[in-house]
């Protein structure tokens, strides 16, 4: 009997371990704004892991310790006001604390009080993207077969104006830990300040019809100098419909 009773306990611990592994699986944010979300996620994960281990531990313990041994009825207790009050108050306090940290992170992440260095209008359409660099004449237009690239300078505040030409889409670069819906008839603004150079995958996350899966783009974060020369070339090309190179 002993090994059979141990089996579920081992399973719960394996699960708990997997939950902890999940903590390490959020990508580090590559934007200043996303850093707040990253540390908030980790805070949630630590508390969640403790709650999961405690609660599932209590379940496993009860099952092992209080399994039926004989026909005698156990004491018929109906409740305990003090205990019940305790496990009402503790979760309340936990969620209130989480709420306070949530608001702090959210205010940092959504702050747009700074001056924008680069203004880009992103137009989502079925099924690709157009990136218009305001005040420069540069534009990048993609199509489902041709992945467009949004080129931006590192360390500068990029203010995105997100619009949709047809149905609801969503702008998402996983490594920014941020997304925003593109809703027809609405201008949505947000800032991204990339902290390191590189090429990042982006994709529409709001189901938008037949070729939703093909609505992919890339963000290329380059140095200020590289950005200026790219911009000059792109401005000369105008709306040539070519991905940034």
Partner 1 sequence: MATTELPLPALPEAHHEEPSGGIVDYLTTVDHKKIGLLYIFTAFAVFLAGGLLALLVRWELATPGLQVMGENTYNQVFTMHGTLMIFLFAAQVTTGLGNYLVPLQIGAADVAFPRANAMSYWLYLFGVLIVVSSFFVAGGPAAVAWTAYAPLSTSEFFQGTGMDLWIIGLAVVGVAGILGAVNLVTTIFRMRMPGMTMFRMPLFTWGVLVNQLLILFAFPPLTVVFALLFLERNFGAEFFDPTAGGSPLLYQHIFWFFGHPEVYIIILPIFGIISEVIPVFSRKPLFGYRAMVFAFFGIAALSFGVWAHHMFATGLVYLPYFSIMSLLIGVPTGIKVFNWIGTMWRGSITLSTAMLMALGFIVVFLIGGITGIFLASPPIDFAVNDTYYVVAHFHYIMVGGLLYGMFAGFYFWFPKFTGRRLSERLGRWHFFTFFIGFNMTFFFQFLVGLDGMPRRIADYDIERWTTANVLSTIGAFLTAVSVLIFLWNFFVSIRRGQPAGDDPWEGNSLEWVTSSPPPSHNFHHLPEVHSERPAFDHRHRDNPAFAAAHTDPERNQDRG
Residues 10-39 that bind partner 1 (CB under 8 A): 12, 15, 18-19, 21-22, 25-27, 34, 36-37
d(C-alpha 28, C-alpha 134), whole Å: 30
Q: Is 172 helix (H, G, I), strand (E, B) or coil?
A: strand
- Residue corresponding to tokens 């899966």: 213
State the nearest-atom distance from the C-beta of 97 to partner 1, in Å: 10
Report if residue 243 touches partner 1, rule: CB under 8 A: no
Find the binding residues for partner 1 in span 142-181 (CB under 8 A): 166-168, 170, 172, 174-175, 177-181
Chain centre distance of CA 68: 46
Can you read off the two tokens belonging to residue 51?
A: 């709650």
Which span (50-58, 115-123, 153-161, 231-239) binds partner 1, by CB under 8 A? Answer: 50-58
Report if residue 72 touches partner 1, rule: CB under 8 A: yes
Residues 6+ apart with CB under 8 A from 217: 128, 129, 142, 147, 148, 149, 150, 202, 203
Report if residue 198 touches partner 1, rule: CB under 8 A: no
Residues in a beta bridge with 233: none
Q: Is 212 helix (H, G, I), strand (E, B) or coil?
A: helix
Our CB check for partner 1 shows the closer of 27 and 238 to be: 27
Tell me how many residues contact partner 1 (CB under 8 A). 88
Here's the x/- map for partner 1, 84-103, by CB under 8 A: it reads as x--xx--xx-xx--xx--xx
Report if residue 41 touches partner 1, rule: CB under 8 A: yes
């Amino acid at each position: 009997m002993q090994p059979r009773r141990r089996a579920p306990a081992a399973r719960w611990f394996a699960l708990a371990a997997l939950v902890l592994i999940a903590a390490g699986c959020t990508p580090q944010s590559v934007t200043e704004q996303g850093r707040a979300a990253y540390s908030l996620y980790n805070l949630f994960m630590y508390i969640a892991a403790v709650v999961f281990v405690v609660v599932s531990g209590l379940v496993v313990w009860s099952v092992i310790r209080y399994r039926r041994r004989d026909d005698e009825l156990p004491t018929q207790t109906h409740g305990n006001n003090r205990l019940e009050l305790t496990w009402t108050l503790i979760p309340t306090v936990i969620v209130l604390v989480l709420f306070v940290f949530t608001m702090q992170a959210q205010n940092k992440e959504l702050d747009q009080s700074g001056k924008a260095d680069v203004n880009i209008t992103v137009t989502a359409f079925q099924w690709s993207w157009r990136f218009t660099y305001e005040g420069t004449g540069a534009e990048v237009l993609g199509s489902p077969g041709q992945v467009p690239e949004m080129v931006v300078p590192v360390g500068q505040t990029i203010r995105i104006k997100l619009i949709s030409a047809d149905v609801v889409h969503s702008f998402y670069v996983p490594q920014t830990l941020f997304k925003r819906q593109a809703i027809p008839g609405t201008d949505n603004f947000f800032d991204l300040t990339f902290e390191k150079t590189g090429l990042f995958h982006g994709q529409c996350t709001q189901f938008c019809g037949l070729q939703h899966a093909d609505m992919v783009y890339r963000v290329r974060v380059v140095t200020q100098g590289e950005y200026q020369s790219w911009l000059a070339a792109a401005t000369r090309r105008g709306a040539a419909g070519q991905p940034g190179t």
